[in-house]
């Protein structure tokens, strides 16, 4: 396991400038997150945030809205073309759900992952044309599809690109909605693809003076995509997500409500954790293993029997995904241990592992070794490898791949993740060049390759109260860009006899009961660390005094409630 550096943030922040009504620890957390203005703090903590922007500030929005409305009024055939991940599925659902209120001549297309790959492809465009399309609107893809956009135009169709991925130096010759365009004045650049689709719907709603309820009805799907696509949960994303989570908790969308019930989440306040680890993976699984259309259909369907069938399909796909993923992960871990431990940039051939799970495996390998990681597998065409990558903090993986653009058949992505296809005989060249680039980065900024855990405050056991948890809930929803704040409990005495429990089917989880601070033994702490039994027992050799970093929560089981401290990392105490 990689050793983690604890960045214990300065505890002496001056809080005198902050207004009343905000808990001192919450104030401290917000200041460390860069939120120092009183109005910004109140907006961030508000149950009803207002930070959202006029869609017409986005470059080309006015022209795009006019084109869409013109096709609606003339009854022309509109096709939404999306990607097969949660963001793409949700983006299609948002525009289908919204535009169906104005036109019935509406269709969508999602490429098959294994056969067609990510994004626009020429064969699909030709097929869409044969089916009578007049306008294609891409969602969550298209920013680098120069050739494909030109083909659509040559075939006599209009095409609009809506996307949030990075643009290349050469951009498609069409109207583009993407706040990452260099001359786009839209104030917030980090919406997911579904967020961009929602802004388009907002633009059409404003221009047609349609009911705002048309937009409110979409927020549950926007929340699903915002969390699942791991965009920063700040600014406008935070506003959309807060309202979207409320919409999901009181869900009226039949398919989503049915899935929530099937996954035993009914009656609970839906959180980012539920989306990220339960709901999102089920939508993703269909696109990874089979056909992503099932996810779109579930979000749009109203018939109970069809919904039940779709839910069973998504659950089965997710089960199969887990099985394939676990096998592929073990193979890749073994390869890293045997061949690539000294590499700074991991490039691993997963030997035919289903390409639908290589992105997940890349993330898990990245987390295990804390190195940027590409996982590749055999593609649909002989001699062609498909790849997916995940990055570490401080390294823009898209820019690193861009420096190797001459090696790829196709690539795309953003700072944290990427996808590509490459000829198999170029894989070793790619590995060598990426490692050379990583060495330069390490020489200039060695801290990039050090896993760091920000510690926002040191707490005493007496401060772990339900009252504090209620205050910390105001900082939610947690996720990328608004990570759950971590706290330090130091100098905790451990009785190593019956108090240390390795839990779980494989005894991989750590449970420390009755921890007490050596200078205050009256308040015991119960702590749990998932996947940390090996770290504590084998690597640290069961120290009698520990420092732990983590986050408190209330554990409810069998009618009992108790305070638990969820361990993110543990070290032997040296105080």
CATH of the domain at 311: 3.90.1640.30
Please give the DSSP secondary-structure letter assigned to residue 169.
Answer: S
| Residue 337 token pair | 């241990």
Closest-CA residue to 228 (of 360, 317, 335, 347): 360
Residue 13 has pLDDT above 60, yes or no: no
Kindly report the pTM of this predicted structure.
0.89
Residue 432 has pLDDT above 60, yes or no: yes
Report the alpha-carbon distance of residue 373 to residue 375 in Å, rounded. 7
Residue 498 has pLDDT above 90, yes or no: no
| Average pLDDT estimate for 388-416 | 92
**SS3 of residue 34 by DSSP:** coil
Residues 27 and 81 grouped into a single domain:
no
Closest-CA residue to 388 (of 279, 275, 282, 288): 288
Residues 258 and 131 grouped into a single domain:
yes
Domain of residue 358, CATH code: 3.10.310.30
Residues 31 and 175 grouped into a single domain:
no
Closest-CA residue to 65 (of 231, 263, 233, 203): 203
Report the alpha-carbon distance of residue 283 to residue 288 in Å, rounded. 9
- Region of 34 (left: φ > 0; alpha: ψ -120 to 50; beta: rest) is left
Domain of residue 532, CATH code: 2.40.50.460
Residue at 50 is within a domain? no
Give the sheet arrangement for strand 346-349, strand by strand. Answer: 346-349, 373-378, 384-390, 417-423, 408-413
Residues 136 and 199 grouped into a single domain:
yes
User: Taken in order 200, 201, 202, 205, is the CA torsion positive or negative?
Assistant: positive
Between residues 478 and 559, which one has the greater pLDDT? 478
| Residue 163 token pair | 């996307």
Longest CA–CA separation in the chain, Å: 78
Across the chain, mean pLDDT equals 92
How many other CB atoms sit within 10 Å of the CB of residue 102? 18
Q: Which of 398, 423, 449 is the last residue of a domain?
A: 449
What pLDDT sits at residue 524? 84
Residue at 473 is within a domain? yes
Residues 257 and 201 grouped into a single domain:
yes
| Average pLDDT estimate for 530-558 | 89
Report the alpha-carbon distance of residue 241 to residue 191 in Å, rounded. 11
pLDDT by residue (tens digit) across 203-221? 999 999 999 999 999 999 9
What pLDDT sits at residue 574? 82
Residues 14 and 67 grouped into a single domain:
no
Residue 166 has pLDDT above 90, yes or no: no
Distance of CA 540 to the CA centre of its chain: 32
What pLDDT sits at residue 304? 95
pLDDT category at 494 given cuts 50, 70, 90 is confident
Residue at 475 is within a domain? yes
What pLDDT sits at residue 487? 96
Residues 194 and 246 grouped into a single domain:
yes
What pLDDT sits at residue 413? 81
pLDDT category at 94 given cuts 50, 70, 90 is very high
Residue 490 has pLDDT above 60, yes or no: yes
Residues 466 and 359 grouped into a single domain:
no
Report the alpha-carbon distance of residue 51 to residue 44 in Å, rounded. 9
Residues 148 and 30 grouped into a single domain:
no
Residue at 331 is within a domain? no
Residue 226 has pLDDT above 80, yes or no: yes
Burial class (CB in 10 A: 0-12, 13-18, 19+), 130: exposed
Report the alpha-carbon distance of residue 137 to residue 92 in Å, rounded. 10
Residues 441 and 553 grouped into a single domain:
no
Residues 214 and 74 grouped into a single domain:
yes
Between residues 114 and 34, which one has the greater pLDDT? 34
What pLDDT sits at residue 557? 77
**Least confident segment among 73-77, 244-248, 406-410, 519-523:** 519-523
Residues 9 and 118 grouped into a single domain:
no
pLDDT category at 561 given cuts 50, 70, 90 is confident
pLDDT by residue (tens digit) across 322-377? 999 999 999 999 999 999 999 999 999 999 899 889 999 999 999 999 999 999 99
Closest-CA residue to 60 (of 171, 209, 192): 171
Please give the DSSP secondary-structure letter assigned to residue 463.
Answer: G
Q: Which of 421, 449, 477 is the last residue of a domain?
A: 449
Encode 294-363 in three state secondary structure.
HHHHHHHCCCHHHHHHHHHHHHHHHHHHHHHHHHHHHHHHHHHHHHHCCCCCEEEECCCCCHHHHHHHHH
Domain tally, the chain: 3
Return all residues near 152 (Cβ < 8 A) that are at least 6 apart. 125, 129, 136, 158, 159
Residue linked to tokens 């067609």: 116
Residue at 88 is within a domain? yes
Residue at 418 is within a domain? yes
Residue at 89 is within a domain? yes
My answer on whether omega of the bond before 252 falls inside 30° of 0, hence cis, is no
Degrees, nearest 5: CA angle 426-427-432? 100
Domain that holds residue 360: 342-449
Residue at 326 is within a domain? no
Residues 414 and 165: beta-carbon distance below 8 Å = yes
Report the alpha-carbon distance of residue 151 to residue 170 in Å, rounded. 16
Return all residues near 89 (Cβ < 8 A) that are at least 6 apart. 82, 83, 110, 283, 287, 292, 295, 296, 299
What pLDDT sits at residue 14? 54
pLDDT by residue (tens digit) across 257-295? 999 999 999 999 999 999 999 999 999 998 888 889 999
Report the alpha-carbon distance of residue 226 to residue 284 in Å, rounded. 14
Phi/psi of residue 135, nearest 5 degrees = -140, 130
């Amino acid at each position: 396991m990689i050793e983690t550096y604890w960045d214990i943030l300065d505890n002496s922040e001056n809080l005198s400038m902050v207004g009343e009504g905000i808990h001192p620890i919450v104030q401290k957390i917000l200041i460390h997150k860069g939120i120092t203005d009183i109005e910004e703090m109140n907006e961030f903590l508000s149950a009803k945030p207002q930070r959202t922007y006029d869609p017409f500030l986005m470059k080309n929005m006015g022209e795009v809205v006019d084109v869409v409305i013109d096709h609606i009024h003339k009854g022309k055939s509109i096709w939404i073309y999306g990607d097969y991940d949660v963001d793409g599925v949700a983006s299609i659902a948002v525009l289908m759900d919204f535009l169906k209120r104005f036109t019935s001549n509406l269709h969508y297309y999602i490429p098959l992952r294994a056969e067609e790959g990510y994004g626009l492809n020429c064969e699909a465009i030709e097929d869409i044309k044969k089916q009578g399309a007049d306008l294609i609107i891409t969602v969550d893809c298209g920013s680098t599809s120069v050739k494909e956009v030109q083909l659509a135009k040559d075939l006599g169709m209009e095409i609009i690109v809506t996307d949030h991925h990075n643009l290349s130096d050469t951009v498609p010759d069409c109207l583009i909605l993407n706040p990452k365009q260099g001359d786009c004045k839209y104030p917030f650049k980090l919406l997911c693809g579904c967020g961009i689709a929602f802004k388009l719907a907002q633009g059409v709603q404003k221009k047609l003076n349609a009911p705002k309820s048309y937009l409110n009805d979409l927020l549950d799907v926007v929340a699903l995509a915002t969390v699942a696509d791991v965009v920063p949960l700040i600014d406008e994303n935070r506003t959309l997500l807060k309202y979207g989570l409320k919409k999901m908790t009181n869900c009226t969308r039949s398919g989503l409500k049915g899935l929530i019930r099937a996954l035993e989440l009914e009656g609970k306040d839906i959180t980012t954790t539920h989306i990220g680890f339960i709901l999102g993976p089920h939508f993703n699984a269909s696109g990874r293993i089979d056909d992503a259309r099932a996810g779109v259909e579930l979000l749009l369907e109203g018939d109970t029997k069809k919904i039940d069938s779709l839910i069973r399909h998504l659950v089965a796909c997710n089960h199969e995904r887990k099985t394939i993923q676990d096998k592929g992960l073990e193979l890749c871990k073994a390869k890293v241990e045997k061949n690539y431990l000294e590499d700074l940039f991991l490039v691993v051939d997963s030997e035919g592992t289903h390409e639908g799970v290589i992105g997940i495996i890349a993330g898990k390998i990245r987390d295990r070794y804390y190195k940027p990681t590409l996982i590749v597998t055999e593609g649909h065409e002989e001699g062609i490898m498909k790849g997916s990558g995940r990055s570490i903090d401080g390294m823009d993986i898209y820019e690193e791949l861009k420096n190797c653009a001459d090696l790829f058949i196709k690539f795309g992505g953003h700072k944290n993740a990427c996808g590509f296809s490459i000829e198999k005989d170029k894989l070793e060249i790619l590995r060598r060049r990426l490692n050379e680039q990583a060495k330069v980065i390490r020489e200039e900024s060695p801290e990039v390759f050090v896993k760091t855990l920000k510690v926002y405050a040191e707490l005493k056991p007496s401060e772990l109260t339900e009252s504090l948890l209620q205050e910390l809930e105001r900082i939610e929803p947690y996720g990328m860009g608004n990570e759950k704040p971590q706290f330090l409990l130091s100098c905790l005495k451990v009785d190593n006899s019956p108090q240390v429990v390795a839990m779980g089917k494989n005894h991989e989880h750590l449970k420390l009961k009755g921890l007490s601070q050596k200078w205050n033994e009256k308040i015991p702490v119960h702590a749990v660390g998932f996947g940390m039994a090996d770290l504590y027992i084998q690597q640290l050799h069961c120290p009698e005094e520990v420092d732990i970093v983590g986050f408190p929560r209330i554990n409810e089981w069998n009618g009992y409630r108790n305070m638990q401290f969820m361990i993110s990392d543990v070290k032997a105490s040296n105080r």
